[in-house]
Amino acid sequence: MTGPSVAASAAELDTRRTQARALLQAGRSDEARRAFEDVLRIAADDAEALNALAVDAHGRGRPDEACALLEQALAAHPDDTTVLSNLGVLQRERNDFEAARASFARASELAPDLFATRLRLGETLLALGRPEQALPVCFGAIFAAQQVGRWLGDASTEPALRPLVTRLIRFVAAGRHQLFNALLAPLRERHGAAALARVDKALAIHLGELQPRWPDPAQRPKFLFFPDLPTERVVPRERFPWYAALEAQTAAIRGEMQRVLAEDTGFEPFLGHFDDAQLEGHLRSDRGAPVWNAFFFHRHGRRNEANAARCPLTMAAVEAVPLCRVREHAPEVCFSVLTPGSHILPHRGVTNTRLVTHLPLVVPEGDLALDISGHLQRWEEGRCFSFDDTFEHAAWNRSAHTRVVLLLDVWNPYLTDIECEALTHLISGIGDFNRQAGA
């Protein structure tokens, strides 16, 4: 008899919940309240009913009753994000800021897509006098919401949230401006404001305080646009006096590459490990699966010691190059392998402050090239070139054999040493902040 009885109760519970929801949506609040009370007679700790009755009590000016109902719900359902979020609102209204912080933080941890809860966590941290903690929390909430089309203006912001969203967007704008400019303050004191004028302009564009003036519509950095640099898809060779020394090591580098390629260990997908659906729009092939692999010596600024030890001559040649070095960001240095039939689809890089250099090692006969926004660049074994990858670009290998280049990131040669130093501090700081914000 236990089984049928339990089933009957569950069915009755679902029916009562459905009726209560319908009454609530119809605006029949008194009837809805009675319906949710009926739900509690069947299941005393039902989270939906307790939450609905708490909201109702709050709306009728009974905050203590509302709080008690939510605390009862939380005791039975400690990971219910709706209960946690609503309890946080009540605790915030009662000036119990630390309790509200804990409720909002737990709900945000469980459900990062609760953007309003994350924003209220930031607001509560401000109320607790912790603006340095509130800043990344608020930025992370706003950034995540805007990525899915919310909070871009009044039309995409719920009316009840507009004052809070507007106020905290202003707080974030002022806070990021102050934080990132402080990273540059020691350099300004040492070198003067004029030496950092273009860096300041780049930061203002990044923060949305200044509209970029694109010198070429094909150029669109995904992260940081540095203004007032020459606009060149491929930068002239004379800007790189170190080419000759690197090119002189082509045979030695090729020998090490061929050895590790034959051993077939240490290589990984350049784009990371994704399934075919995730690679759509990035790679394709007319001969089976596309392959763009890399043997990394540096990845996101971190040196791969195991790979470096296997290619000492290559590493000696690479370390003599003025690589773009930014903690946890740059350089990327690798043997880049593109198999026959593989096509790297059009894409753009993150910033024009650095260029991508290729030293071609194996270039088979046939149709293979790099298209940089209409400039067709052919590879020649042993001859370097450096291009600005913030121009949309694509590459293909329609030959019968694999193409291999040594790929490395270098500073844009039109930057001054002071600007490179400033960008190193600035990009690292922005990256640290964005990671803290979960952006």
CA nearest 29: which of 18, 41, 21, 40? 21
d(CA 196, CA 179): 16
Q: pLDDT truncated to tens, each residue of the chain (439 aa)?
A: 344 444 447 777 888 888 888 888 888 888 888 888 888 888 888 888 998 898 888 888 888 889 899 999 999 999 999 999 999 999 999 999 999 999 999 999 999 999 999 999 999 999 999 999 999 999 999 999 999 999 999 999 999 999 999 999 999 999 999 999 999 999 999 999 999 999 999 999 999 999 999 999 899 999 999 999 999 999 999 999 999 999 999 999 999 999 999 998 999 999 876 555 555 678 999 888 899 999 999 999 999 999 999 999 999 999 999 999 999 999 999 999 999 999 999 999 999 999 999 999 999 999 999 999 999 999 999 999 999 999 999 999 999 999 999 999 999 999 999 999 999 999 999 999 999 999 8
The answer to whether position 139 is within a domain reads: yes
Within this chain, do residues 252 and 391 fall inside the same structural domain, yes or no?
yes
* pLDDT score of 270: 92
Please report the DSSP string for 133-151 in residue order. Answer: HHHHHHHHHHHHHHHTT-S
The answer to whether position 198 is within a domain reads: no
The CATH number assigned to the domain holding 256 equals 2.60.120.330
Place of tokens 């090692």: 361
The answer to whether position 69 is within a domain reads: yes
Please report the DSSP string for 70-83 in residue order. Answer: HHHHHHH-TT-HHH
Within this chain, do residues 279 and 132 fall inside the same structural domain, yes or no?
no
d(CA 135, CA 306): 39
d(CA 314, CA 307): 10
Within this chain, do residues 291 and 148 fall inside the same structural domain, yes or no?
no
- Number of domains within the chain: 2
Within this chain, do residues 245 and 106 fall inside the same structural domain, yes or no?
no
What type of residue sits at position 212? P
- Backbone φ and ψ of 135, nearest 5°: -60, -55
Within this chain, do residues 266 and 148 fall inside the same structural domain, yes or no?
no
Within this chain, do residues 278 and 146 fall inside the same structural domain, yes or no?
no
Within this chain, do residues 109 and 241 fall inside the same structural domain, yes or no?
no
Residue 266 makes CB contacts below 8 A (sequence gap 6+) with 260, 295, 306, 307, 310
* pLDDT score of 274: 59
Task: Look up the domain containing 114 and give its range.
Answer: 2-166
* pLDDT score of 88: 95
The CATH number assigned to the domain holding 115 equals 1.25.40.10
The answer to whether position 197 is within a domain reads: no
Within this chain, do residues 272 and 398 fall inside the same structural domain, yes or no?
yes
Dihedral, CA of residue 169, residue 173, residue 176 and residue 177, to nearest 10: -170
The answer to whether position 341 is within a domain reads: yes
Strand partners, 336: 294, 405
pLDDT in tens, 193-217: 999 999 999 999 999 999 999 999 8
Within this chain, do residues 252 and 387 fall inside the same structural domain, yes or no?
yes
d(CA 267, CA 270): 9
* pLDDT score of 272: 78
Residue 17 makes CB contacts below 8 A (sequence gap 6+) with 39, 46, 48, 49
The answer to whether position 145 is within a domain reads: yes
Within this chain, do residues 28 and 154 fall inside the same structural domain, yes or no?
yes
* pLDDT score of 2: 43
Q: Does residue 221 have a cis peptide bond before it, meaning omega lies within 30 degrees of 0?
A: no
CA nearest 334: which of 368, 353, 311, 364? 311
Q: Which two tokens stand for residue 199?
A: 């860096």
The answer to whether position 419 is within a domain reads: no
CA nearest 169: which of 159, 160, 157? 157
The answer to whether position 386 is within a domain reads: yes
Within this chain, do residues 147 and 280 fall inside the same structural domain, yes or no?
no
Within this chain, do residues 270 and 405 fall inside the same structural domain, yes or no?
yes
Distances in Å between the alpha carbon of 249 and those of 237, 245, 246, 317, 382? 17, 7, 5, 7, 9
Exposed / middle / buried, residue 331 (Cβ in 10 Å: 0-12, 13-18, 19+) = buried
Residue 249 makes CB contacts below 8 A (sequence gap 6+) with 313, 314, 317
d(CA 422, CA 180): 11
